[in-house]
Structure 1
Amino acid sequence: MRVSATTTPCLKSDADTVALGVFEDEELAEGPPEELGEMLASGEARRSFKALAVAHAQGKRWLLVGLGARTEFTPEHGRVAAAAVRSRAREISTRVLCWQLPAGGDEDLAAALVEGTIISDYSFDRYRSSPPQPDGSGAAGERKHLDALIVSAAEPLDARVAQAAIVAEAVNAARDLQNRPANDLTPTALAEHARQLGEEIEGLSVEVEGREAILARRMGAFAAVAQGSDQEPALITMRYEGPESSGPTLGFVGKAVTFDSGGISLKPGAKMAEMKFDMSGGAAVIEAVAAIARLRLPVRLLAVVGATENLPSGRSVKPGDIVTAANGKTIEVNNTDAEGRLVLADCLWHAVDSGAEALVDLATLTGAVIVALGSTYAGLMSNDDQLAAQIIAAGERTGEIVWRLPLHREYEELLKGSYGDLDNAPEARKAGTIIVGAPGHRRLGVGSRPRVRRQGRFRLRRAPAGRARLLQRRIVARARGGKPLRDRGPRGAPRIEMGAVEARLARDLHELDRAALRTGGARVVAAELDRDDLIEHPVHQQHGGVRRNERHRVARRVAVRDLLRAAAHQGSCRPALPPSIGAREITHAGLHERVAQADALGARSPTRRSSGKFLA
């Protein structure tokens, strides 16, 4: 369908049908034929929402649609009205439809009319023996699709109309993926579709990894779901960075189980054919990324889609099996039909480890949400009020409304396993939607959404330890020349003169320090910048006593802080590595010596003293 905007009245366009909306208690604007006003006066046409009437005047067909009260009208009402008009236009074999924007209508209404028309014009005929003809007509001559859509308005709306067309076409492309049968849309076929988008769209890169790479990444939960099928699973990673992009890296994660039989915990036969739709979250993510890239939006975006089948076989994961997720957590698989949370656990971890700072996870995860909310709302769970508010507002604008469900740490108790860390399908049947949402993701290691906030003069990102490698790459990338400036080291260090390189290095090391302090007992990395090389010194976990986390907290703080102080104090992009940060065993006395050295540079000492030994 060709979509365009014009400032020329519809009467002078080449459209064979003109659509015109009218609000309650308002008269038609000047320009339409008198016959339309007479139809309203006689009651043949009404102003109530979605009421339709057809007239023939001045060589064109006219579709008059009621829009209801202007005070209650929203963009979603516009989409619904446009869909009603498109349905009637199909009955009268319309080829070119022109929407005359009502008086006072803005660009949001124009976009809604475009989206409603394109989405309602959709049909899926790929596998029919007599598909629609190139001219849009069916086998019996019935017109199934519009050739063109024109939006006429007093002001130019070309950009907004084109944007709406891209979004609506992306919606229909996702529907095409959903409707394809599982013997056609295998995980490999879905990955190939994503790869083709990467080749077609400028600025979009796509990486696809198969079973061996998934195992190499230690994605044991994802691999367990995939092991029952002969079809190769696919870990699809899409990256886009728009022009003049700023802000945190947004992460989309989608579940794409291209067919879900339930595995060994087999689903009932009735309506099992609909389980081809269990890849809908992945389809939405792939086409959303494609639309964002086509629109050249100024954002940084990372998308991860886990594609697999869930089938029973002699190799399938069995109820009672225990698998290990990418973050090291063990999961009891007590129901193989609760596979989506296993796939997403590893995909979410991969997204965070790859640099995503704010995550949006889309999935057909559980029927429990339909029991709770029906088909009107989608369930929303979030551990960040600001992000949740943005998604709720976006849902209102697009008509995809969501309802936020509560989160509480007590829900996590329901997830505890009897033999492993977690149970993928607790038998209590309590809070069925919530327990597979954000609390489970937090226990699987991607818990709190990395938050962007201000602290002092430094912009800090609180992120899991997986961000450490990304921060290290940033340190190396930034270790290049710059103009001198004055800056202040964190934690009260004295004001010093340093170059731009050293100032950025100090900020990044401080950011790494914050990341380290945020992560419980996970592995973190202290970095030495030596020319262009980066040397890593893992701080390993210890397993002796209740004070383990405190020891690591002190160790990480001092190890990274020493590097930070060395960089700030020496004003060099190649700070000398303090002897106490070598990859060797450090004693209790050695730790205190390091603290004293840091304190001499104005740092703040840990308030608690640790004992025993640790590896640095």
Structure 2
Amino acid sequence: MEFTIKAGSPEKLKNGCVVVGAFAGGDLTVAARALDNASDGAIAAVLAQGDLDEKAGSTLMLHAVRGVAAPRVLLVSLGKADALSDKVYRDAVGATAKALAGSAAGDAAFCLADIDIPGRDLPWRLAQAAQILKDSTYRCDELKSKKEESQKGIKKLVFVARHKDAAALETAVLRGEAVADGLALAKTLGNLPGNVCTPGYLATAAKKLAKDHKIKVEILERADMEKLGMGSLLSVSRGSHEPPKFIILHYKGGKAKDKPVVLVGKGVTFDSGGISLKPGEGMDEMKYDMCGAASVLGTFKAIARMELPINVIGLIPATENMPGGSATKPGDIVTSMSGQTIEVLNTDAEGRLILCDALTYAERFDPAAVVDIATLTGACIIALGNATSGLMANDDALAAELLASGQASGDKAWQLPIWDEYQEMLKSNFADIPNIGTKGAGAITAACFLARFTKAYKWAHLDIAGPAWKSGAEKGSTGRPVPLLTQFLIDRAAE
């Protein structure tokens, strides 16, 4: 989808469709009012008949409205005017995308950005719209023998804005597009099956990303990890025929002496549970256990497209977790890169075993902050459902930054505690630490485990087990938390 920005009178635009908003009760946005005036009250008359549902996100397509140059007018409900919010706006944009996808219009003029949302300026509204509209065109059909071809849907969209700072608005639209591109990469990697998206495939994808953008990449092999003493990570890979990879990305957009932000993404490309084998039902969805890694790659794509002035390191420990004659067994004790020994009580709690070595490796970069992203625990889904990521941190200021980025991007997180009392649930008679805690607070004790490897820097953990993918009829990767991470880095770059 190609985006442009222009100023103009909505009633004079000759695009295939003009998109305007209306509030419950018949109140019109500025653009809708212009169309209503040009049509001698035709828009208000349609609303008075009740054909447009007042629920936010409802749509109604009108044809050949007199006095309006465009052959189609898409009315989008914004709900009650006093209840306008970020979510209402996003819902309206999403509904617009769905309606336009089934239209033969070809191109459209988008006038919803002219509404006033408390605390959100025009650049924010344009960035959100560009992201949602472009993301709506995503398809994952790489492995289908016959791709579905549709002649409908728009190819070009004009954002109509009464603007003064054209450069700021163009930057906003570019950022929205960049996030959508990052989401597309993360979704595709997540959606690919485990026999395609192996640790080696992730390494190749990282190399391609680096080649296409100003990113440096290093790939550590098993022998390199052995030399570094990454016994915890390597213990997870022992049951698999696929060799593990440790992917290191360098994005240097800031000053040479600026400390980098380090993103660490869990890259278990298929998680059978190992010897602690998972139930068969739904196990196919364990291809999504590398969505943390996918989100790091997607975020790097987005920030590279934006050319953000910030230094960022990406670390992706990638492996499969499989049963086999060489697989780690419950009760085995392994030694992490930090030197801490770990009693593996459950081989299905493997994500923390690969992350702890990556978090130790992160120390060498003297980071400004470290954020790890992982589909880590089913317990987090029990606590928070699928709508939001669980956030735990050893620094409240860093946690506040991430929470604010989640609110601004619509990719929300909720903070859970990692108080010292929870560390009491992690005790082993035979090693320094077990890889699971006693019963209860599973998401928190998993973070407490990781916290023991992050004492050298400010650190936050995002448990994305809930929002990383959808099941059922809409089954597929969501690409989250690419929007949150990208907004976090945008805000950091602006400091």
Give the TM-score taking structure 1 as reference length: 0.68
Give 2:369's match in structure 1, choosing from 351, 355, 358. 358
Written as runs of structure 1 = structure 2, the 5 A alignment for 1:299-378 is: 299-378=310-389
Q: Which whole-Å CA distance do the structure 1 matches of 2:328 and 2:341 have between them?
A: 14
Alignment partner of 1:414: what SS? coil
Q: Does 1:126 align with 2:142?
A: yes
Alignment partner of 2:264: what SS? strand
Say whether the 8 Å CA contact 1:442–1:448 is kept in structure 2: no
Q: Does 1:149 align with 2:157?
A: yes
Q: Which whole-Å CA distance do the structure 1 matches of 2:115 and 2:282 have between them?
A: 47
Q: Which whole-Å CA distance do the structure 2 matches of 1:54 and 1:245 have between them?
A: 53
Give 1:184's match in structure 2, choosing from 192, 196, 216. 196
Q: Does 1:114 align with 2:130?
A: yes
1:41 is matched with 48
Q: Which whole-Å CA distance do the structure 2 matches of 1:59 and 1:382 have between them?
A: 52
Written as runs of structure 1 = structure 2, the 5 A alignment for 1:574-613 is: none
CA displacement 1:430-479 (0-9 Å, x = unmatched): 21110001x21232x3236349xxxxxxxxxxxxxxxxxxxxxxxxxxxx
CA-CA distance at 1:74 after TM superposition? 3.1
Q: Which whole-Å CA distance do the structure 1 matches of 2:182 and 2:157 have between them?
A: 17
2:455 is matched with 447
**Sequence identity of aligned pairs in percent?**
35
CA-CA distance at 1:395 after TM superposition? 0.7
Alignment partner of 2:408: what SS? helix
Q: Which whole-Å CA distance do the structure 1 matches of 2:252 and 2:311 have between them?
A: 4
Say whether the 8 Å CA contact 1:186–1:231 is kept in structure 2: yes
CA displacement 1:508-567 (0-9 Å, x = unmatched): xxxxxxxxxxxxxxxxxxxxxxxxxxxxxxxxxxxxxxxxxxxxxxxxxxxxxxxxxxxx
Q: Does 1:436 align with 2:439?
A: no
1:27 is matched with 28
Alignment partner of 2:439: what SS? coil
2:469 is matched with none
CA-CA distance at 1:389 after TM superposition? 0.6
CA-CA distance at 1:11 after TM superposition? 5.4
Give 1:52's match in structure 2, choosing from 50, 59, 78. 59
The gaps in structure 2 that reach 5 residues or longer are 117-121, 460-495
Q: Which whole-Å CA distance do the structure 2 matches of 1:180 and 1:289 have between them?
A: 19
CA-CA distance at 1:59 after TM superposition? 4.4
Q: Does 1:197 align with 2:209?
A: yes
1:598 is matched with none
Q: Which whole-Å CA distance do the structure 1 matches of 2:3 and 2:335 have between them?
A: 50
CA-CA distance at 1:102 after TM superposition? 4.7
Q: Which whole-Å CA distance do the structure 1 matches of 2:418 and 2:456 have between them?
A: 12
Q: Which whole-Å CA distance do the structure 2 matches of 1:81 and 1:162 have between them?
A: 20
1:405 is matched with 416
- Larger Rg computed on CA atoms: 1
CA displacement 1:298-334 (0-9 Å, x = unmatched): 2121110111100111111111111100000000111
Q: Kindly tell me: are residues 447 and 243 of structure 1, through their superposed partners in 2, closer, same or farther at Cα, counting changes over 3 Å?
A: closer
Q: Which whole-Å CA distance do the structure 2 matches of 1:421 and 1:441 have between them?
A: 13
CA displacement 1:190-223 (0-9 Å, x = unmatched): 1111111111112x11111111111111100101
2:178 is matched with 166
Say whether the 8 Å CA contact 2:272–2:278 is kept in structure 1: yes
Q: Which whole-Å CA distance do the structure 2 matches of 1:18 and 1:245 have between them?
A: 47
Q: Which whole-Å CA distance do the structure 2 matches of 1:175 and 1:11 have between them?
A: 38
Say whether the 8 Å CA contact 2:197–2:269 is kept in structure 1: yes
Say whether the 8 Å CA contact 1:22–1:102 is kept in structure 2: no
Q: Which whole-Å CA distance do the structure 1 matches of 2:196 and 2:258 have between them?
A: 39
Q: Which whole-Å CA distance do the structure 2 matches of 1:434 and 1:279 have between them?
A: 20
Which structure carries more relative contact order (alpha carbon 8 Å, separation 6+)?
A: 2
Say whether the 8 Å CA contact 1:36–1:55 is kept in structure 2: no
Say whether the 8 Å CA contact 1:47–1:65 is kept in structure 2: no
Q: Which whole-Å CA distance do the structure 1 matches of 2:433 and 2:17 have between them?
A: 60
Q: Does 1:6 align with 2:6?
A: yes
Q: Which whole-Å CA distance do the structure 2 matches of 1:367 and 1:219 have between them?
A: 26
Across the aligned residues of Structure 1 and Structure 2, the Cα RMSD in angstroms comes to 2.0
1:257 is matched with 268
Q: Which whole-Å CA distance do the structure 1 matches of 2:345 and 2:355 have between them?
A: 17
> Is the deviation greater in 223-232 or in 23-32?
23-32
Alignment partner of 2:266: what SS? strand
Alignment partner of 1:177: what SS? helix
Q: Which whole-Å CA distance do the structure 2 matches of 1:450 and 1:372 have between them?
A: 25
CA displacement 1:336-388 (0-9 Å, x = unmatched): 11000001000111112233231111100010001111112211101111111
Say whether the 8 Å CA contact 1:121–1:146 is kept in structure 2: no
CA-CA distance at 1:15 after TM superposition? 3.3
Alignment partner of 1:31: what SS? helix
Written as runs of structure 1 = structure 2, the 5 A alignment for 1:227-238 is: 227-238=238-249
Q: Which whole-Å CA distance do the structure 2 matches of 1:65 and 1:328 have between them?
A: 59
